Amino acid sequence: MKIFGVLVIIMLCIAMVIAGAFMLVTSIGERDIFTLVERDERDIRTLAEQGDMYAQTNLGFMYYLGEGVPQDYEQAVYWYRLAAEQGYPRAQGYLGFMYFHGLGTAQNYEQALHWYHLAAEQGEAWVQTNLGFIYYLGEGVPQDFEQAVHWYRLAAAQGYSRAQNNLGYMYEHGLGVPQSYEQAEFWYRLAWD
């Protein structure tokens, strides 16, 4: 069981670093990019320019992926920021992601954490999981397993399987919580069901 947990967390670490875009794609929400891409890019741009935060977020995502427009991380950051400043939590999370990884802007952990916290406090499970992982690693912040558990637990309670798996790992190894194989198994099973 211990080796399985270690392998799972290693796989998740690699997946989160290499495939950050997957988290964005799987969590886009309300008016998703794939519905909007069917429309003309000019229609999305018109809505975005009129201040529609969903269109701004989706246009940013189009630039992030290079979907229907040339890939341009600076433009992605520009559109995410407009939506994020209106309080849209997904855009806040995406903007935090861009700052954290230095995509389209200088890498800036302070800005990344600012935007991540705004989104996480509004219930964005993928952002809560990312915050947990940041605190787990201590990247840009002091390592803090209790904070990692806090954010994993919030996302896990929403049914977010990555957070459930990571919470299982924390219980298995007694990181930020008392070690409990029973709790570890509970969260691992929930993640894989």
One digit per residue, pLDDT tens: the chain, 193 residues? 555 554 445 444 444 433 343 344 334 444 454 444 455 667 899 999 999 999 999 999 999 999 989 999 999 999 999 999 999 999 999 999 999 999 999 999 999 999 999 999 999 999 999 999 999 999 999 999 999 999 999 999 999 999 999 999 999 999 999 999 999 999 999 999 8
Q: pLDDT of 61-96, one tens digit each?
A: 999 999 989 999 999 999 999 999 999 999 999 999
Task: Measure the CA angle with vertex 149, ends 137 and 116; round to 5°.
Answer: 65
**Burial of 4 from C-beta contacts in 10 A (0-12 / 13-18 / 19+):** exposed
The values of phi and psi at residue 185, to 5°, are -60, -40
Predicted local confidence at residue 42, as pLDDT: 75
* Cα 159 from chain centre: 15
Q: What is the set of domains in the chain, with CATH numbers?
A: 1-27+125-193 (1.25.40.10), 30-123 (1.25.40.10)
